[in-house]
Amino acid sequence: MTTRAPDSATQTAPVEEARTPPSTSGIRPNPLREGLRLERMAEPCTMVICGATGDLTERKLAPALYNTLLGGFLPPEFTVVGFARRELSDEEFRAHLREGINKHSRNKPVTEAIWDSFARGIEYHRGDFDDPAAYVRLAKRLERIDRDRGTAGNRLFYLAVPPSLYPEIVNQLDRAGLAASGGRRRTGSTRGWTRVIVEKPFGYDLGSARTLNHELGEVFDEDQVFRIDHYLGKETVQNLAVFRFGNGLFEPIWNRRYIDSVQITVAETVGVEGRGEFYDATGALRDIVQGHALQLMAMFAMDPPVEFHAEDLRDEKLKVLRGVKPMSPAEVAANTVRGQYVSGWVEGEKIASYRDQPNVAPGSQTETFAALKLSIDSWRWAGVPFYIRTGKALPSRVTEIAVTFKQAPLALFARAGVPQIDANVLAIRVQPDEGILLRFGAKVPGQGLQIRTVNMDFRYGSSFAVDSPDAYETLLLDAMVGDASLFTRDDEAERAWEILDPILAAWKDEAGGPLHFYGAGTWGPPAADELLERDGRAWRRP
């Protein structure tokens, strides 16, 4: 996991001149942070993007790489090879990446000196993913790049393609001698590491996830595989561990004795936006809960790791997921709600019903909203309900974890005529305004005794006066330095499916309850509110 120290005179790690970022970065390095930067700088390497002409590369990968270079974390030898079917020259591919950076980077437009340095290390490789000859040519190209640019045989393959293509690509890489799993080395004189990044979804259900993990494992060792979930790269999610384990104030109360309940919300204002064919075969549970929401829950609820290393962190997350017991059909009906949006207004824009979207079946039963009540059977969390909700066409775009603490044991101020004080709430905002809010009661100034709920609000942007890096910036750099802390391990992915498969099965045969409808621009169907009202609770309105 990435940790960053603040600028201070105490940060005096020595500077290795040989690893100083290139002067073409256009940035005057702060010597107080130089040691920290060098610890995080990637080794010389080549990143091969399979599916390089797609939307992900334009919107996320190209801006992330540019900003990582801008921050001084990529060496001058770093090289990008785009691999796709489209006929493009190197210059055309460079122009494609530059356009994506100018549109989507948090630092834009590009600075000419920095772009010139970046562009010198960008190449395009045209080929079909099922053509062995394309991989033979790719191997020769990478060997030439190793010689010409000094990338030392270090290769990072990013599979920015549908998961159905993963087996074909990894097997072709293996046959071309580009996988180098375990103790096997690539043919030729170069030596170095090989890693592969795969995007979610990690399977469609438990069976397909196990098949996918097996197919990846036939070619790569597990420590070479980086399953990326961009939510885990967000600053607030990374800060969860620091917030809990670095502050003596919070960890002692992070348990069933003091916490009443936890709510995790992943809300989107948009509908399916032309992705009807994909979404109608996926749904909210597979799209968001299987990865994002369960990973947020695991990060929030895990016990302190023995050490702050990738395997220790992922071991603790797995323990949390193992504590969530799969539900019976009757439990699914009692503890879950699924919904689908109909027409309505969101942020002043009319959104048509889900079933009226292109490539969506007229009578589709796919959920665009899901609400769940989960329990973690562990000593720390026994009896504390975890409520998860996610949906499309909701009133606000927000991701947060809200912790409601138990009421004080004695209504001390009741005799003075003061009504019950609202419970304390800690809201950890993941997006869009990353920060942490604490709500508590305080006396209103003046004569008499009046108590009002007030907020203590920490925001990353205002507190540190710097932009938080995009999640992909953090995760790409982590993969290059070999830090898997923020990536999903194979057993984590499979355990998440073990939790969700019974829910999907019960929903499919309607034993898990009916499909409810909600208007676009509302917070889901009334049944979702009733899920909490039965427990004497209510959803927080972010």
Q: Is residue 387 one of the residues assigned to a domain?
A: yes
104: enclosing H helix or E strand: helix 90-104
End-to-end CA distance of the chain: 28
Residue 465: the pLDDT is 64
Q: Is residue 123 one of the residues assigned to a domain?
A: yes
Residue 435: the pLDDT is 85
Residue 41: the pLDDT is 85
At residue 2, does pLDDT exceed 60?
no
- The span from the CA of 409 to the CA of 422, in Å, is 13
**Does 241 lie in the same domain as 194?**
no
**Does 420 lie in the same domain as 338?**
yes
The residue ranges of DSSP E strands in 51-144, in sequence order, are: 79-84, 122-126
Residue 178: the pLDDT is 94
**Does 275 lie in the same domain as 385?**
yes
At residue 499, does pLDDT exceed 90?
yes
Residue 419: the pLDDT is 66
The percent of the chain in helix, strand and coil, each rounded to the nearest 5, is 40, 20, 40
**Does 113 lie in the same domain as 262?**
no
**Does 192 lie in the same domain as 68?**
yes
Half-sphere exposure of residue 413: CA atoms within 13 angstroms, side-chain side: 15
Does residue 189 or residue 433 have the better pLDDT?
A: 433
Range of the domain at 75: 42-199
Cα angle 159-163-164, degrees, rounded to a multiple of 5? 120
* CATH of residue 435: 3.30.360.10
pLDDT band at 188, cuts 50/70/90? very low
Residue 301: the pLDDT is 96
Does residue 184 or residue 423 have the better pLDDT?
A: 423
- The span from the CA of 121 to the CA of 62, in Å, is 13
Residue 316: the pLDDT is 94
**Does 194 lie in the same domain as 266?**
no
Residue 98: the pLDDT is 95
Residue 144: the pLDDT is 96
At residue 33, does pLDDT exceed 60?
no
Residue 182: the pLDDT is 44
- The span from the CA of 96 to the CA of 94, in Å, is 5
β 515-519/425-431 pair status: unpaired
**Does 142 lie in the same domain as 267?**
no
For helices 90-104 and 62-70, the axis angle rounded to 10 degrees is 80
Does residue 328 or residue 184 have the better pLDDT?
A: 328
At residue 239, does pLDDT exceed 70?
yes
At residue 229, does pLDDT exceed 80?
yes
Coil, strand or helix: which one is 431?
A: strand
Least confident of 29-43, 179-193, 216-230, 273-287: 29-43
**Does 358 lie in the same domain as 468?**
yes
Q: What is the pLDDT of residues 123-175, one digit of tens each?
A: 999 999 999 999 999 999 999 999 999 999 999 999 999 888 999 999 999 99
Residue 417: the pLDDT is 58
Q: Is residue 1 one of the residues assigned to a domain?
A: no
Mean pLDDT score across all residues of the chain: 87
Q: Work out the percent of the chain whose per-residue pLDDT is above 70.
A: 87
Which residues, 6+ apart, have CB-to-CB distance to 94 below 8 Å? 119, 122
State mean pLDDT over 448-476: 78
User: DSSP labels for 6-72?
Assistant: PS-TT--PPP-GGGPPPGGG-----HHHHHHHHHHPPPS-EEEEETTTSHHIIIIIHHHHHHHHHTT
Least confident of 9-18, 43-52, 396-405: 9-18
Q: What is the pLDDT of residues 293-342, one digit of tens each?
A: 999 999 999 999 988 888 999 999 999 999 999 999 999 999 999 999 99
- So which residues are the catalytic ones? 292
At residue 405, does pLDDT exceed 90?
yes
At residue 243, does pLDDT exceed 90?
no
State mean pLDDT over 481-490: 92
- The span from the CA of 161 to the CA of 49, in Å, is 9
Q: What is the pLDDT of residues 98-126, one digit of tens each?
A: 999 999 998 888 889 899 999 999 999 99
**Does 344 lie in the same domain as 487?**
yes
Residue 344: the pLDDT is 96
pLDDT band at 442, cuts 50/70/90? confident
Q: Is residue 20 one of the residues assigned to a domain?
A: no
At residue 96, does pLDDT exceed 80?
yes
In the block, tokens 């948009």 appear at: 270
| Contact between residue 53 and residue 67 where contact means Cβ atoms under 8 Å apart | no
Structure tokens at 351: 């959104």
- The span from the CA of 158 to the CA of 145, in Å, is 18
Q: Is residue 9 one of the residues assigned to a domain?
A: no
At residue 190, does pLDDT exceed 70?
no
CA dihedral 48, 3, 67, 237 (to 10 degrees): 90
Q: Which of 199, 220, 247 is at the close of a domain?
A: 199
Does residue 31 or residue 354 have the better pLDDT?
A: 354
Residue 191: the pLDDT is 72
Number of folded domains in the chain?
Answer: 2
Q: Which of 182, 199, 216 is at the close of a domain?
A: 199
Q: Where are the alpha helices (DSSP H) in 302-347?
A: 310-322, 329-335
Q: Is residue 214 one of the residues assigned to a domain?
A: no
**Does 456 lie in the same domain as 324?**
yes
Residue 410: the pLDDT is 58
Residue 439: the pLDDT is 85
Q: What is the CA radius of gyration of the chain?
A: 25
Q: Is residue 301 one of the residues assigned to a domain?
A: yes
* CATH of residue 187: 3.40.50.720
- The span from the CA of 267 to the CA of 400, in Å, is 9
Coil, strand or helix: which one is 482?
A: coil
**Does 391 lie in the same domain as 259?**
yes
- The span from the CA of 269 to the CA of 283, in Å, is 16
Q: Is residue 224 one of the residues assigned to a domain?
A: no
**Does 415 lie in the same domain as 295?**
yes
State mean pLDDT over 466-480: 87
